[in-house]
Amino acid sequence: MTVAGKLQDFLKAVASETRQRILFLFMDGQERTVNQVARDADLGQSTASENLALLKRGGLVMARREGKEVYYFPDRACIRAMIQELTALLDHCCPPK
């Protein structure tokens, strides 16, 4: 996938208020399962799963499997890289006056 494609997935992932709400759940530094995200964000399990998949594709979260459970947590390195890429793009196309 190209950098532009990754950046588009990142922007799509953060464009949703629901996905922003999910991201803020991780501010405490704790990993969460889909069911925990669903409960804490007051979402159905399938909605939480769908949104976590979009966050993962956008590079905002990663997942690890432990037995039958999948734990999600922020991908800080990717988030930083995407923000740097967006900043570079904006600097290139829209230089400060």
Which amino acid is present at 42?
A: D
Residue 71: CB atoms within 10 A of its CB come to 16
Q: How far is residue 33's CA from residue 38's CA, in Å, rounded to a whole number?
A: 9
Residue 81: CB atoms within 10 A of its CB come to 16
pLDDT in tens, the chain (97 residues): 676 788 999 999 999 999 999 999 999 989 999 999 999 999 999 999 999 999 999 999 999 999 999 999 999 999 999 999 989 888 888 766 6
- The CA-atom distances, in angstroms, between 46 and each of 12, 24, 39 are 19, 19, 12
Contact present, 22 and 55 (Cβ < 8 Å) = yes
